[in-house]
Amino acid sequence: MAAQIIDGKAIAAKVRERIGSTVSTLKQQGITPGLAVVLVGDDPASRVYVGMKKKMCVELGMYSADHELPASTSEAELLTLIGQLNADPRVHGILVQLPLPDHIDTDKVLEAISPDKDADGFHPYNVGRLAIGKPTFQPCTPYGVMVMLDEIGYDLKGKEVVVVGRSNIVGKPVALMCLSRHATVTICHSRTKDLADVVRRADVVIAAVGKAEMVKGDWIKPGAVVIDVGINRVGEKKLVGDVEYAAAAERASAITPVPGGVGPMTIAMLLQNTLESAQRAATR
């Protein structure tokens, strides 16, 4: 069986195209969606990621406000900036790039962001709304996973989904999203017994654990869909996912590659969340 390759780059490009079209329409009404990104410190990977977000904002005609702060920035100074961004009508989405320096309480910072501008979907208010099936903002990576499943026309209703990983960023929210689509969901983690046996019964496997090729190809049920959220560096240059890709692709009906799968969707959905926030603000 030759698995369908779910091309995250192509799907993300389609999402951005739709966003750009909607942004153009909003701008004709005098509304420019705006995203503020806050970076504390000079982590090279974070800087590259922030640069990509800014570039895409500009390409889509969105307002981009970047705040690059030194690693010595105090928690109080960061909270003051977030308060200013909460009050800025030009800003519809706020993203604080993680990780933050050790002297700053990450939870306190994320909770300081207005739930109405929580473009990452991490505020407890929005997490709670997701849990009861009434999301305001959906966390970007899980949101991207759902869009990818939609793109290949996959209906989760009645399907058995196994999520490997229970993080607040991916595992838990993606499980809730699958549940809202009437899937039967199992979440696996480091204490799960007989992980291979659990994965083998899945119609859909979503791997988000951050361990290189932890999910073996022969665990995949023939015809299953495999969504690999992980990205792990092996050696100096090679990137692999959480799933043993080549072996899994021989058994799956559809699979995401690493890189080029889920990764490109994350920024696209961040921009989508910002756009949706601007649309809501326009009706208030």
The CATH number of whichever domain residue 243 belongs to comes to: 3.40.50.720
For residue 135, the model assigns a pLDDT of 78
For residue 122, the model assigns a pLDDT of 94
For residue 182, the model assigns a pLDDT of 98
Percent of the chain at pLDDT > 70 equals: 100
- Model confidence at 136, in pLDDT bands (50, 70, 90)? confident
Asked if residue 94 and residue 193 are part of one domain, the reply reads no
CATH of the domain at 57: 3.40.50.10860
Asked if residue 162 and residue 102 are part of one domain, the reply reads no
Q: Read off the tokens for 43.
A: 């982590």
Residue 105: inside a domain: yes
Percent of the chain at pLDDT > 90 equals: 92
- Model confidence at 62, in pLDDT bands (50, 70, 90)? very high
For residue 237, the model assigns a pLDDT of 82
Asked if residue 246 and residue 152 are part of one domain, the reply reads yes
Active site residue 203: no
- Model confidence at 1, in pLDDT bands (50, 70, 90)? low
Which residue's entry shows tokens 């709304």? 129
Active site residue 9: no
Q: Which residues are annotated as a binding site for NADP(+)?
A: 165-167, 231
pLDDT at position 111 over 70? yes
Residue 279: inside a domain: no
Asked if residue 156 and residue 93 are part of one domain, the reply reads no
For residue 44, the model assigns a pLDDT of 86
Q: For 143-190, how does the pLDDT look when each residue is reduced to its tens digit (9 = 90+)?
A: 999 999 999 999 999 999 999 999 999 999 999 999 999 999 999 999
Catalytic residue among 53, 117, 159, 172: 53
Catalytic residue among 116, 120, 228, 242: 120
Reported pTM = 0.95
Question: How many distinct structural domains can be found in the chain?
Answer: 2
Active site residue 120: yes
Whole-angstrom distance, CA of residue 59 vs CA of residue 45: 21
Residue 101: inside a domain: yes
- Cβ-proximal residues to 20 (8 Å cutoff; 6+ apart), any chain: 59, 60, 61
Asked if residue 258 and residue 145 are part of one domain, the reply reads yes
Asked if residue 151 and residue 213 are part of one domain, the reply reads yes
Q: Which residues are annotated as a binding site?
A: 165-167, 231
Residue 103: inside a domain: yes
Residue 2: inside a domain: no
pLDDT at position 124 over 90? yes
Asked if residue 240 and residue 157 are part of one domain, the reply reads yes
Strand partners, 67: 38
pLDDT at position 217 over 90? yes
3-state helix/strand/coil string of 195-253: HHHHHHCCCEEEECCCCCCCECHHHCCCCCEEEECCCEEECCCEEECCECHHHHHCCCC
Asked if residue 258 and residue 149 are part of one domain, the reply reads yes
Residue 200: inside a domain: yes
Over residues 232-249, mean pLDDT: 93
- The boundaries of the domain holding residue 45 are 32-114
Asked if residue 110 and residue 215 are part of one domain, the reply reads no
Whole-angstrom distance, CA of residue 114 vs CA of residue 95: 11
- Model confidence at 258, in pLDDT bands (50, 70, 90)? very high
Asked if residue 191 and residue 77 are part of one domain, the reply reads no
Asked if residue 158 and residue 73 are part of one domain, the reply reads no
- Model confidence at 2, in pLDDT bands (50, 70, 90)? confident
Please state, rounded to an integer, the average pLDDT across all residues of the chain: 96
Residue 123: inside a domain: no
Residue 77: inside a domain: yes
The DSSP annotation for the chain comes to --PEE--HHHHHHHHHHHHHHHHHHHHHTT---EEEEEEES--HHHHHHHHHHHHHHHHTT-EEEEEEE-TT--HHHHHHHHHHHHH-TT-SEEEEPSPPPTTS-HHHHHHHS-GGGBTTS-SHHHHHHHHTT--SS--HHHHHHHHHHHHTT---TT-EEEEE---TTTHHHHHHHHHHTT-EEEEE-TT-SSHHHHHHT-SEEEE-S--TT-B-GGGSPTT-EEEE---EEETTTEEE-SB-HHHHHTT-SEE--SSSSSHHHHHHHHHHHHHHHHHHHHH-
Asked if residue 210 and residue 109 are part of one domain, the reply reads no
For residue 45, the model assigns a pLDDT of 83
